Structure 1
């Protein structure tokens, strides 16, 4: 086969080969080329970005996992299925020569390049070097005669002059330089404890990809790279075929599965097609495409199951495959899906064939980081400090749905969790001399129907496993049948019949009547409210009072779980100076410069709360108006200072907008307090409408605590004429520093001076002042803008899901959404494990309203699932 191709490699991990490889894929796809992606080594995350860039599944090429003889056929499969590609781009692993330890580079990028006769493009980080990079490139280009290094991409050049110096040095050793890329923070993909954050979990992944593609197009010689790819020799290999893989003898060179029994294929043709549920969604993103292809070739009908959203297994499920992913990140969302958890446990106990790899095993355990999980495995799991990583050769210890005892497979481990099984629990595998995993027969069938372990396997290297699993699923008695060994009837808690199609948000409209208004839950249900949510004083009630350790937190609007690394480092640095009294001068200047204001127009405060207190102390309003629904702290501060407060209520039927009628109600007030975007309605009022309130003798205070979550900070009042205006800002939510209390007010310099006169000495600490300085830099503002854009896409996802459930919402320009879910739903959500902010603690709202903090789509999917289940229970 003639296949233009290149392999993107590097001297070591961390040089940027994933970013460059994905950039090349995306840039070539933009040109209209069909790009076949592939990845060297046991990786699930990078292929997700490959698929996003090319629109095709990425093939994993690993001689240890699949055998040397299958590497080229799998590459050809990726280049011809579903259509013929114009070019293949392979991403390497670790350093070019690095493979399995003790094997002289077996399964390295160089090994795969040799097996597939693929030209190599090196990516080299030059951020800490210049001319010396030529020695590195020369060594890698000449160390192995079987390799063809056709070019180099120099990454992270500090300046054009720096990049030119490195380019000349590399070209002097006879290797072309295909491009020099500057440092660019926006090209970095967020990392997690096992590497990059999967593309499926990043709502902004597509936007990041567009940026990476544009940078690649601008800085790389793609035409030169295409010419080098076209120089690749013809591949003498047939495409890997899953159907043939089930009937032909194994092609492994050494340790592998035994030859296939042709009878397996004949059995597959005679039986019906069992439904096998394969876990997916954002928590279970780790599986190779060949897994599904082999299951289907063996006769199964594969249906994807999202354990965060689906409240039941697919209809007719006879087998369950739970692959890898990050359940530890989404543990609470998964744990709150109680109908599915109950059903999976019952099905496994009834003998349904189940395979769980790594994350799947964690999901089936009794607990994960103290969160209750499915409970089908007698084990407790938790995050640990040590990374377990490496290739494994495994031999099954018992007969199971994966094959007879003695079945051999190759795989790898990659995890930071630890599992504590109960004593005496049968193990699944012998891994390099130690026992690992679980092999259980809960229904007494005579062989293990549940196999769970940390071992990740590539079934293209062991196709008999897929055939055996499908055969076991086909032989399994369908749940609900009177012949079923344990009599499970497919029902969930309370005897409610469950089906994946009738309670998942976004599914068929016929599943329920969405036109019906929400009905109140029973009084008994409504009174089962946690004590932490009891309200003593509505004006002093905040979202943190709604939160408990066992609840998913959608009540507090802090964006991150901890400050960004650069901000945390700055705060650690500041600790060395806390012996001195804090001086706000530098912070005041930084904030003024950030908004183009004079120093006299800005005052650092201890969060927004101090600003409201200073307002109440400094002014003596005769007619103070607070426009509600609104954050209650300003009114609480005014009342605590002895001022009377008049409320102007914006109406839900008007979309909580600042209508002409509302403006008329404000009348002759000499103090007006309004939020923008307003907490809790999420409405972003037009700046001109608020500015129209300004008049002689009146102070207008605008609470802009959340406007940094609005892309472009649209409708901010901190532009133009500030006479008579005070604007309050908070930095605690966006930057996850609620415990530090960092905020400021800005506006009319006379008003700012009046409030400053009432501020105690040193009320704003050194750490808070450092937050103000660091977050006012161009780098921080660019990061905040990207975060606002990501949050906007997450909010759109939440609002769309609520509207599918016929749940009315307020505005959509804040890091939260006001939703009218119905009376009693706040309590019902708490009982189901979800904390949202109750609406009746805001003047103008009743108990049917809740405020929902915008979170990542995976968490939101869990909430939408729970709301759908509650609505279904009401209408059933």
Structure 2
């Protein structure tokens, strides 16, 4: 009896266009974002080998972008990879898959009769197609274009049209009327909007990881898409896609963990049949260090999945900022990106360049594709690089962009002699020194390309390891066989100090008590009779009359927060069950600390210390990642341990007043991790830029507080926003009626249109009053961190806190925040007349 695959249901659509430049990426990414924000679980895919578009897709959906390319992976793997990327067969399959096409619908490999085209992939995956058509230079002729696209290949099912770049309502109406004759429904009309176009440079769009404004631009785009495209009709068309009788791709079936893996023979050549020394059950996993950050943004998600399935631990490091390789590194994967753009930053990190050169020269298995190749060279356009390869790279006027089919010339790291591999090249640099064929990584039509050996592979060719899993297996086996030399452990990002929590649960009771005492210190402890208050972060405007009236509530019955939660849900565009009312942020952190038995909780510092106190009280001592004052306390997501199951970060952060880009915080998200963003001061940021309160992302919780902006410290009012299943976990830890009737009234009142208008006025005044403080500090020559919140972190020097206190001013001491010492103080924003008194005193007392 022959078994047959289970029928797999996956609603899906391909977003295509008649040609490049019609807006496929804009519309496809906007649809992904709009559907995700509407509560759908969206998987994102891209036809072709491109890395940049999937970066925007990942930003839109919170999931890895996936590529579908017949040349790179083979036609037979398209459907399995599509199903795998959509999580079909898992506990949480996607609701819908959106596939962005490449070039024109029928444009594929040159000379390949449409092979690897969008139409080819749509046909193989049996996916309906929606056309995006730029109408900026035509009107009724658009209908002829669409009719021709429909008739050209009947096997391609075009089910809808999205009209893009309409000049006016009249222009759009003319096009829509003409399209009626095609029988293809128009799903929406988009106007010209240059504000949502991603910037480009010499190799196309700028990657999302390099754009601090990418998330904000995506939010605007998602709003436009949701408003102008019929998402319900679009989903209905996606559900017409037939079931697929193929099993999802599984990396575990493509590779095997160590046991029968490769080992070095006496000749130094890897032997596929030799047993792996030190492998097998119980052996620790060797680390593959994978380059990431802004300079190395190109890599396929399946590469990491294959390496993990083969028994490796993949740890991302940033060559721009990390000075050492991850501890235990036994293999290097340097993928694609833009080292030529970030050459100065890469060159400045001399310690890491030295570490990489030593690792490569020691025989550590190393794969370097394109950007990785350039990075290992002696220089790029005269800027020094690692120097592990005796070659220099220079910018070239000619763009190399092509599919390739190459052969492994000799037995080496990436394969045995004669193995054929497919890939693509995409670069505008060239190596100055020609590489001898005897050391080539590949043979292309008899010519050698790149550098290849038993331990090093470096070339311009990008390969997709899902299409060639033997490459992943061979590399993983070499990593398992490698014995790294002893190296100094990677320095901890946590500085030593009495207020820094231990990273292990074995802290003494005395140490725990000292930690709790330090963490329990808050700004109100600074206040005393006769002191002017610059310590407590409470807005100093009087409360609105309507809020005072709302707080006069009946307390004769048990409180019910349901009404307040509905009001908050409307305010942030969330479902009612995605809001949990709390007795301020402090209760929210206590609930988070208790919701699970956290194995590796992390708090990003300097930060409000309540999350630490709650975690410590719950028996989960947190690990600290401390942001560097040298770069303005900006968050580096790569410093967060890969095994962290909880990450807490403030935005804007107390006490630094730093507003982290939403895109950067999204980089913290990953499966089996909860990320908690404390947005207690976000309502003081104009337009709440970089807020994630209205964003639907798996594993994300956003904590809000009403205390500060609305001047109600005596009313503990706050809430948590997030997925329903996470909030259910919090609710199980919450005491009955913990949220008071006054807090419920405050939440309801401050979500009204009247309240939002007043909040905008308060935010404007805060910015104006803050400028008086920062201008004065600058005039005094006192360093401070560029602020986004209603307080400023300044560094007037050691002893300044006590000097100001003696002079009659209470400012917040900073040495109780991990990562800061007593040379820093936090100063709350106050009215200009009061602030000028403080500045005058600082001029005298701190000069």
Query: Structure 2 length normalisation: TM-score?
Result: 0.56
* 1:197 aligns to 2:206 (yes or no): yes
Aligned length: 509
Distance (Å, rounded) in 1 between the aligned partners of 2:31 and 2:276: 40
User: What's 2:834 paired with?
Assistant: none
Distance (Å, rounded) in 1 between the aligned partners of 2:274 and 2:365: 21
User: What's 2:464 paired with?
Assistant: 458
Q: Summarize the Cα distance change of 1:504–1:183 in structure 2 as closer, same or farther, 3 Å threshold.
A: farther
* 1:330 aligns to 2:336 (yes or no): no
* 1:343 aligns to 2:355 (yes or no): yes
* 1:470 aligns to 2:445 (yes or no): no
1:643-679 CA-to-partner distances (Å, cap 9, x unmatched) read xxxxxxxxxxxxxxxxxxxxxxxxxxxxxxxxxxxxx
1:459-486 CA-to-partner distances (Å, cap 9, x unmatched) read 0010011111111111111212xxxxxx
Residue pairs, 1:492-641, within 5 angstroms: 497=488, 499-502=490-493
- Native 8 Å contact 2:381 2:394 kept in 1: yes
Structure 1 position 385, deviation (Å): 1.2
User: What's 1:96 paired with?
Assistant: 105
Q: Summarize the Cα distance change of 1:200–1:504 in structure 2 as closer, same or farther, 3 Å threshold.
A: farther
User: What's 1:66 paired with?
Assistant: 73
Q: Secondary structure of 2:182's match?
A: coil
Structure 1 position 27, deviation (Å): 0.9
Distance (Å, rounded) in 1 between the aligned partners of 2:166 and 2:375: 44
User: What's 1:430 paired with?
Assistant: 443
Distance (Å, rounded) in 2 between the aligned partners of 1:821 and 1:462: 59
- Native 8 Å contact 1:378 1:422 kept in 2: no
- Native 8 Å contact 1:269 1:299 kept in 2: no
Structure 1 position 246, deviation (Å): 2.1
User: What's 2:573 paired with?
Assistant: none
Q: Summarize the Cα distance change of 1:24–1:813 in structure 2 as closer, same or farther, 3 Å threshold.
A: closer
Distance (Å, rounded) in 2 between the aligned partners of 1:318 and 1:437: 22
Distance (Å, rounded) in 1 between the aligned partners of 2:209 and 2:370: 18
User: What's 1:365 paired with?
Assistant: 377
Distance (Å, rounded) in 2 between the aligned partners of 1:228 and 1:183: 26
Distance (Å, rounded) in 2 between the aligned partners of 1:261 and 1:141: 50
* 1:219 aligns to 2:228 (yes or no): yes
Q: Secondary structure of 1:233's match?
A: coil
Q: Summarize the Cα distance change of 1:262–1:104 in structure 2 as closer, same or farther, 3 Å threshold.
A: farther
- Native 8 Å contact 1:311 1:500 kept in 2: no
Structure 1 position 268, deviation (Å): 6.5
2:33 pairs with one of 26, 29, 33: 26
Structure 1 position 422, deviation (Å): 5.7
1:784-811 CA-to-partner distances (Å, cap 9, x unmatched) read xxxxx9xx9xxxxxx9xxxxxxx96255
Structure 1 position 245, deviation (Å): 1.4
- Native 8 Å contact 1:246 1:265 kept in 2: no
Look at both structures and tell me which one has the larger radius of gyration over its CA atoms.
1
- Native 8 Å contact 1:4 1:232 kept in 2: yes
* 1:420 aligns to 2:427 (yes or no): no
* 1:809 aligns to 2:784 (yes or no): yes
* 1:127 aligns to 2:136 (yes or no): yes
Distance (Å, rounded) in 2 between the aligned partners of 1:453 and 1:471: 21
User: What's 2:303 paired with?
Assistant: 291
Ranges in structure 2 where 5+ consecutive residues have no aligned partner = 1-7, 258-270, 504-656, 659-684, 688-763, 768-773, 775-781, 799-822, 825-847
Q: Secondary structure of 1:216's match?
A: helix
User: What's 2:243 paired with?
Assistant: 234
User: What's 1:106 paired with?
Assistant: 115
- Native 8 Å contact 1:130 1:165 kept in 2: yes
User: What's 2:663 paired with?
Assistant: none
- Native 8 Å contact 1:247 1:261 kept in 2: no
Q: Summarize the Cα distance change of 1:818–1:416 in structure 2 as closer, same or farther, 3 Å threshold.
A: farther
Q: Secondary structure of 2:63's match?
A: coil
Q: Secondary structure of 2:452's match?
A: strand
Q: Summarize the Cα distance change of 1:217–1:103 in structure 2 as closer, same or farther, 3 Å threshold.
A: same
Q: Summarize the Cα distance change of 1:237–1:267 in structure 2 as closer, same or farther, 3 Å threshold.
A: farther
Distance (Å, rounded) in 1 between the aligned partners of 2:97 and 2:273: 33
1:245 pairs with one of 246, 254, 260: 254
Structure 1 position 73, deviation (Å): 0.3
User: What's 1:40 paired with?
Assistant: 47
Distance (Å, rounded) in 2 between the aligned partners of 1:279 and 1:33: 32
Distance (Å, rounded) in 1 between the aligned partners of 2:395 and 2:797: 38
- Native 8 Å contact 2:150 2:157 kept in 1: yes
Q: Secondary structure of 1:6's match?
A: strand
- Native 8 Å contact 1:272 1:474 kept in 2: no
Distance (Å, rounded) in 1 between the aligned partners of 2:367 and 2:309: 18
Distance (Å, rounded) in 2 between the aligned partners of 1:818 and 1:364: 40
1:383-414 CA-to-partner distances (Å, cap 9, x unmatched) read 21111001111111222222222222110000
1:21-77 CA-to-partner distances (Å, cap 9, x unmatched) read 011111111111101111100011111111111111122111111111100000000
* 1:389 aligns to 2:401 (yes or no): yes
Structure 1 position 222, deviation (Å): 1.1
User: What's 1:523 paired with?
Assistant: none
Structure 1 position 510, deviation (Å): 6.7
Distance (Å, rounded) in 2 between the aligned partners of 1:263 and 1:110: 45
Distance (Å, rounded) in 2 between the aligned partners of 1:221 and 1:288: 32
Query: Structure 1 length normalisation: TM-score?
Result: 0.54
- Native 8 Å contact 2:277 2:481 kept in 1: no
Structure 1 position 193, deviation (Å): 1.3
2:168 pairs with one of 159, 162, 175: 159
Q: Secondary structure of 1:80's match?
A: coil
1:116-140 CA-to-partner distances (Å, cap 9, x unmatched) read 1000000010101111011110011
* 1:6 aligns to 2:13 (yes or no): yes
1:728-753 CA-to-partner distances (Å, cap 9, x unmatched) read xxxxxxxxxxxxxxxxxxxxxxxxxx
Distance (Å, rounded) in 2 between the aligned partners of 1:821 and 1:290: 50
Q: Summarize the Cα distance change of 1:11–1:821 in structure 2 as closer, same or farther, 3 Å threshold.
A: farther
Q: Secondary structure of 1:456's match?
A: coil
* 1:16 aligns to 2:23 (yes or no): yes
Q: Summarize the Cα distance change of 1:154–1:369 in structure 2 as closer, same or farther, 3 Å threshold.
A: same
RMSD: 3.7
Runs of 4+ residues over 3 Å off in structure 1: 260-272, 422-425, 500-505, 508-511, 810-814, 817-823
Distance (Å, rounded) in 1 between the aligned partners of 2:244 and 2:788: 54
Distance (Å, rounded) in 1 between the aligned partners of 2:123 and 2:278: 39
Structure 1 position 2, deviation (Å): 1.1
Q: Secondary structure of 2:43's match?
A: strand
1:760-796 CA-to-partner distances (Å, cap 9, x unmatched) read xxxxxxxxxxxxxxxxxxxxxxxxxxxxx9xx9xxxx
